[in-house]
Chains A and B, each alone.
Chain A
């Protein structure tokens, strides 16, 4: 495990693109900002179809007024399997955390999200949000979501939501009615689902953000 300390008032943003697994431990001092993007979006060539990846992200806010943003996206085919665990601990008050994790699963791919959120007894005025949205593109794909919320402070705002669904059939038909074939329509809808995560990448990493967005749009300018 690598431990990264974000010192008081500092800002750290990182994009982890197709890493073979992550084990990261962040410690945030007062007033620091952490923003990470964990992207497991292999291009679907043969070697990627049976990958097994485990991401473990631990964040501890030990000083007041910290902000944490965690974005994760996995688009998996074949028998690929990705588990992403987040452990976010608000040890002190006045902090914010926001998590958005999305999985797009095709074929027999499997996804797992374990979202562990702790707010310590004295950590008042914390705002913590955790959202997990998943798209299953086949009958045999599988998603498991395990949120674990342990909230010991009473004056906090904490929300979590999880949903797993299929592509919107009415949107597919609408696009077909305009002459777009079903496969392309699926690509557009999947791309739209994925973009929300990619678009969260900040200016510091705009080159990779634009490259990924263009790949999704299949841009030929």
Chain B
């Protein structure tokens, strides 16, 4: 089992305000890590910093992806190297079709890996296969990215993109928020089917509910910019029962 991601003493701020205050976390291939914590703890900041969101500034610390300095890479290079974020609020892009968007993304990744671009026929076959897995409608191809999608469709579309791009590290940021139980099941089944011994996931969530479907190997509690407690899946149940206040830290 080899190290996929190493976060060492990570500090980050936005607009001069420090949000992450020394995060340490190691993720091995094949593992699922849940990150829970109260509002404002820095959960979304962590996902933004790992993906290179320019709104945030890293002030201290290191992050390595398969031994490479992740923080030195442009956002698109991190993505091509296999870091994928399922956005809490997927962005609507009117006028850019899912087909055009997805083909540009997948061929950028293939080029980075030294592979030939997919032919239109191969690409469309792959789209069809993955759409079916997420129970997304056929007409998705011609629709603009996320435009007019319901909350559930947007989240399914995130996991669909994850299925298309086959990342080595998936970060699911509050993927369960705004989902009804059927959509939650489809999304979670999608995530579980994409799991391999070589990839890993970080599941950021507020609630235990999602973890009934996506079972984590580790649960971390992030509070005030630091991981304050780590346990197995029973920690999530304990949090559900006692709340963050009741946690003996």
Contacts and interface: CB of A to CB of B under 8 A. Distances in A.
Contacts of B93: 168, 171, 174-175, 188-189, 192
A158 to B, nearest CB: 26
A192 B79 CA distance: 23
Given A179-B165, A188-B104, A191-B95, A221 B120 contact: yes
Interface in A154-182: 168-171, 173-182
Interface in B45-92: 51-54, 74-76, 79-80, 84-85, 87, 90-92
Interface size classification for chain A: 20 to 34
B95 A173 contact: no
B79 A193 contact: no
Given A184-B104, A188-B100, A188-B101, A178 B161 contact: yes
A68 to B, nearest CB: 25
A196 interface: yes
Contact of A176 (B79, B90, B101, B165): B79
A193 B91 contact: no
A195 B94 CA distance: 10
Interface residues of B, number: 32
A3 interface: no
A122 interface: no
Contacts of A193: 95
B74 A175 contact: no
A173 B49 CA distance: 12
Contacts of A43: none
Contact of B96 (A179, A188, A196, A221): A188
Contacts of A170: 91
Contacts of B85: 177
Q: Is the interface of A mostly helix, strand, loop or mixed?
A: helix
A177 B54 CA distance: 11
B108 interface: yes
A192 B96 contact: yes
A192 B94 CA distance: 7
Given A176-B74, A184-B104, A188-B101, 20 more contacts: A168-B91, A173-B75, A174-B91, A174-B93, A175-B93, A176-B52, A176-B76, A177-B85, A178-B101, A178-B165, A179-B76, A179-B105, A179-B109, A180-B104, A180-B108, A189-B96, A192-B95, A196-B95, A217-B100, A221-B120
17 contacts: A175-B101, A176-B74, A176-B75, A177-B87, A178-B79, A178-B101, A178-B105, A178-B161, A179-B105, A181-B108, A184-B108, A188-B93, A188-B101, A188-B104, A189-B95, A192-B93, A221-B120
Interface of B: 51-54, 74-76, 79-80, 84-85, 87, 90-96, 100-101, 104-106, 108-109, 112, 120, 144-145, 161, 165
Closest 3 CB pairs of A and B: A192-B95, A179-B79, A178-B105
